[in-house]
Chain A
Amino acid sequence: MYEFLTGPMLWVTFTVFIVGCIWRVVRYVRGLSWQLDRVAYRPHFALGARHALKSVFYWLVPFGSRSWREKPGMTILFFAFHIGIVFVPLFLEAHAVVAKQRLGIAWPSMPAGLADGLTIAMLVAGAGLVIRRLALPEVRIITTGYDYLLLAITMAPFVTGLACRMDLPGAEGWLLAHLVTGHLMLLAIPFTKLSHMVLYFCSRAQLGMDFGIKRGGERGRGIVW
């Protein structure tokens, strides 16, 4: 099973994940319509691109946007969650070892202590996000089972990964669970709301262009979204 999940299945998952993400982006861009969206994307492309990049950038920086500054608690939960979810899987030493052994790719890795810290922070933040959803009426009303399911899908590989790392009893079971949940998360990305992993950049850039081209980018000062 281990052989299969770190071998052929890895190729299948990566292919579905990458092709799926590309397909989502292509479909997004192709579905834009300057007349229906009321943004002249092409004739003012340079202006639009500048504001698109600006918009993407300021929202990727902790406390970079006014929204992040106004909700510092959420901002900390959000960034702890996303930094962990992006960097730990990519640069974990154990993953680099698998990449080398199974795929023959040399991959950089981060110190184990840092990975542990980021993982724990990510899981604590995830729990915080769940509590926030339950506690705040304005979030509770828009939350559905789907939102909890996605949180579970994203947190499961980290819980199981941490269990492996801590050598909890039943090591082999934890490792298999980690592999299965990891595959599940990657496969879910193109088909669920987790597609925001790539669509965030599309949607954010689109609004940056909208404000940049049409709604004041030429005239206003400072940040426009």
Chain B
Amino acid sequence: MPEGKYCFRRPLQTEEDILHLLSDTRGTNYYKEMEELEVDTEALKKRLDATCKSRLRTWLDICARCGLCADSCFLYRVNDRNPEQVPSYKVQTTLGEIVRKNGNVDTKFMLHAMEVCWSRCTCCSRCAQYCPHGIDMGQMISYTRGLLYSQGFVPWELKIGSGMHRVYRAQMDVTEEDWVETCEWMAEENEEEYPGLTIPVDVENADIMYTCNAREPKHYPEDVAEAAILFHIAGENWTVPSSGWEQTALCMFAGDWEACKMQVQNVYDAIERLKPKRVVGTECGHAHRASVIEGPYWCGRPDGKPPAPYIHYVEWVAEALRTGKLKIDPAKRIKEPVTLQDSCNYVRNYGLSEITREIISYIVEPGYFVEMAPNKDYNYCCGGGGGFNGVGRYRAQRNKALKTKRDQILATGCKLVIAPCHNCWDAIRDLEEEFEIGIRWTFLKPLLLKMVVIPEHLRPAEEEE
């Protein structure tokens, strides 16, 4: 079968496309059809010629097969040191094979490669730090995902997710109207407690333009409200764009590079339209990676930077605490053992490990902060990165992957975990559901709101009497 009714090579381009695929519950027919989806070897070969350049080819060529990457991979460790989970093996048996055969691979191989790329690697790039030759296997798997996506071999949820970005410029069907309404609703909802609270939409030349993760307006709008309240308390001159507010990219997990460009260009257009001094992104790791670290390259920005300085939420929080824009009530600081999850995407892959610890120094009573081991740049993936959290087909593998973080948290003895990343937050929630170790997990925003000092002039009138 060249292509099926549900499973085909072309990306989802319209709302009907998305609804059609969504109607196939859990992708039952999609995966059945995939068993017979033909590989367009000519197209695959062309893609290799155009995009597989010296860096990747050299990496494949000179891999010394020394196995030093094995122990760096949490999936290898958590799967009872199964040699098939050695990063080098995973790459050599997928991308290595495609390159060796110059694209001449069959459906069975592609199904296997899909399983490896989405259930045995979260593209956390920890292995890159352990390879003497500097081979980054996370990037190679990510590249392989692009090849697989172009041939239609991609998990059902990620095919839909990247379709969402193409159609709505958001990972979920949140339209511009939905977004602006949510902002208005959240401002109204909280303005009694915080007089003067607004969520200003499309204000030009603001100091800050705020962008978030579509899950927030869709599933936890209080996160949007909390961001607004904290900006309000800090006295920031800020705004949100009506369009270009969503900074995540499930299409990055899917390997749909075309959609990645469409998605991030929308955010950059908002920056260019509103001309803020800088942009603050929400507590999300992959969103930061998509819009700040990789995005500029998708859009062909030669300096590798977004159109305006674009910082992660932890950078804004640290700065607000440092400069006194946000003041913490010392009596309300955390006085229980607490640990911190370092997100791969903005710590290992963006260098923000120290700044998160600076935040800790303001909000945790000295002596209560416990580091995970390993930590910072060497921390392990939460277990659900790279799209792993969202793929139903690989739920069993994902649940097993969560054990690494479970054991790291258990070793700290803490019952509270600060996770300023949506994906890590989700994974930690899931690990508690799965293993019931009795922990709580939190973003920074609700924590800060509980302990921040509200300046006199921003308090409700009754309180002043």
B136 contacts chain A at the CB level, 8 A cutoff: yes
Residues B81 and A138 in contact, CB atoms below 8 Å apart: yes
Residues A195 and B350 in contact, CB atoms below 8 Å apart: no
Q: How many A-B residue pairs have CB under 8 A?
A: 165
Q: Which residues of A have CB within 8 Å of B131?
A: 67
Residues B351 and A216 in contact, CB atoms below 8 Å apart: yes
- Distance in angstroms from B48 CB to nearest chain A CB is 12
Q: With A139-B67, A141-B86, A225-B128 in contact, is A206–B134 under 8 Å at CB?
A: yes
Q: With A27-B54, A39-B304, A193-B62 in contact, is A215–B297 under 8 Å at CB?
A: no
Q: Which residues of A have CB within 8 Å of B72?
A: 67
List A13-67 residues whose CB lies under 8 Å from chain B.
27-40, 42-44, 55, 59, 65-67
Closest residue of chain A to B125, judged by CB?
A215
Residues A207 and B134 in contact, CB atoms below 8 Å apart: yes
Alpha-carbon distance A31/B352, docked complex (angstroms): 31
- Distance in angstroms from B137 CB to nearest chain A CB is 11
Alpha-carbon distance A216/B350, docked complex (angstroms): 4
List B42-80 residues whose CB lies under 8 Å from chain A.
51, 53-55, 57-59, 61-68, 70-72, 76
Partner of A30 from B51, B54, B132, B351 at Cβ < 8 Å: B54
Residues B136 and A207 in contact, CB atoms below 8 Å apart: yes
Additional A-B contacts beyond A29-B54, A43-B304 (20; CB < 8 A)? A31-B57, A31-B58, A34-B297, A34-B304, A44-B304, A59-B132, A67-B130, A74-B66, A138-B71, A138-B83, A138-B86, A141-B83, A142-B86, A193-B63, A195-B62, A207-B134, A207-B136, A215-B293, A216-B348, A219-B355
Q: Which residues of A have CB within 8 Å of B63?
A: 142, 193
Residues B350 and A36 in contact, CB atoms below 8 Å apart: no
Partner of A220 from B133, B134, B353 at Cβ < 8 Å: B353
Q: Which residues of B have CB within 8 Å of A36?
A: 51, 53, 55
B300 contacts chain A at the CB level, 8 A cutoff: yes
Partner of B134 from A55, A213, A217 at Cβ < 8 Å: A55
B324 contacts chain A at the CB level, 8 A cutoff: no
Partner of B54 from A28, A216, A217, A221 at Cβ < 8 Å: A28
Of B57, B81, B351, B354, most A-chain CB atoms within 10 Å: B351
B246 contacts chain A at the CB level, 8 A cutoff: no
Residues A66 and B297 in contact, CB atoms below 8 Å apart: no
Please encode chain B, from 159 to 189, with 1 for each CB lying within 8 Å of some chain A CB and 0 for all others: 0000000000000000000000000000000
Alpha-carbon distance A42/B350, docked complex (angstroms): 19
Residues A142 and B353 in contact, CB atoms below 8 Å apart: no
Alpha-carbon distance A29/B54, docked complex (angstroms): 8
Could you write out 23 A-B pairs with CB less than 8 Å apart? A31-B54, A34-B304, A37-B53, A40-B302, A40-B303, A43-B302, A43-B304, A67-B72, A139-B70, A141-B86, A142-B63, A142-B89, A199-B62, A200-B132, A203-B133, A207-B135, A207-B136, A214-B304, A215-B348, A216-B351, A219-B354, A220-B352, A224-B351
- Distance in angstroms from B430 CB to nearest chain A CB is 27
List A72-89 residues whose CB lies under 8 Å from chain B.
74, 78
Residues A147 and B304 in contact, CB atoms below 8 Å apart: no
Of B133, B296, B300, most A-chain CB atoms within 10 Å: B133
- Distance in angstroms from B145 CB to nearest chain A CB is 14
Alpha-carbon distance A30/B51, docked complex (angstroms): 14
Q: Which residues of A have CB within 8 Å of B128?
A: 207, 225
Residues A144 and B86 in contact, CB atoms below 8 Å apart: no
Alpha-carbon distance A35/B68, docked complex (angstroms): 29
Residues A33 and B81 in contact, CB atoms below 8 Å apart: no
Q: Which residues of A have CB within 8 Å of B305?
A: 40
Partner of B88 from A29, A78, A142 at Cβ < 8 Å: A142
Interface residues of A (CB under 8 A from B): 27-40, 42-44, 55, 59, 65-67, 70-71, 74, 78, 133, 136-144, 147, 193, 195-196, 199-200, 202-208, 210, 213-221, 224-225
Alpha-carbon distance A75/B236, docked complex (angstroms): 52
* B interface, size bucket: 35 or more
Q: Which residues of A have CB within 8 Å of B256?
A: none
Q: Which residues of B have CB within 8 Å of A29?
A: 54
- Distance in angstroms from B92 CB to nearest chain A CB is 6
Q: Which residues of B have CB within 8 Å of A210?
A: 136
Closest residue of chain B to A210, judged by CB?
B136
Residues A147 and B351 in contact, CB atoms below 8 Å apart: no
Alpha-carbon distance A93/B109, docked complex (angstroms): 54
Partner of B129 from A42, A67, A199, A200 at Cβ < 8 Å: A67
Alpha-carbon distance A206/B134, docked complex (angstroms): 8
Q: Which residues of B have CB within 8 Å of A214?
A: 293, 304
Q: With A32-B53, A40-B302, A207-B134 in contact, is A196–B62 under 8 Å at CB?
A: yes
Partner of B62 from A44, A200, A218, A224 at Cβ < 8 Å: A200
- Distance in angstroms from A156 CB to nearest chain B CB is 19
Q: Which residues of A have CB within 8 Å of B57?
A: 31
Partner of B378 from A28, A66, A143, A208 at Cβ < 8 Å: A66
- Distance in angstroms from A80 CB to nearest chain B CB is 15
- Distance in angstroms from B138 CB to nearest chain A CB is 11
Residues A195 and B83 in contact, CB atoms below 8 Å apart: no
Alpha-carbon distance A28/B134, docked complex (angstroms): 14
Of A71, A139, A213, A215, most B-chain CB atoms within 10 Å: A215
Closest residue of chain A to B71, judged by CB?
A70
Q: Which residues of A have CB within 8 Å of B129?
A: 66-67, 225
B35 contacts chain A at the CB level, 8 A cutoff: no
Of B67, B83, B135, most A-chain CB atoms within 10 Å: B67
Residues B349 and A216 in contact, CB atoms below 8 Å apart: yes
Alpha-carbon distance A31/B59, docked complex (angstroms): 13
Please encode chain B, from 339 to 361, with 1 for each CB lying within 8 Å of some chain A CB and 0 for all others: 00000000111111111000000
Q: Which 9 A-B pairs have the closest CB atoms?
A: A216-B351, A31-B54, A40-B304, A220-B351, A207-B134, A219-B351, A139-B67, A141-B83, A138-B70
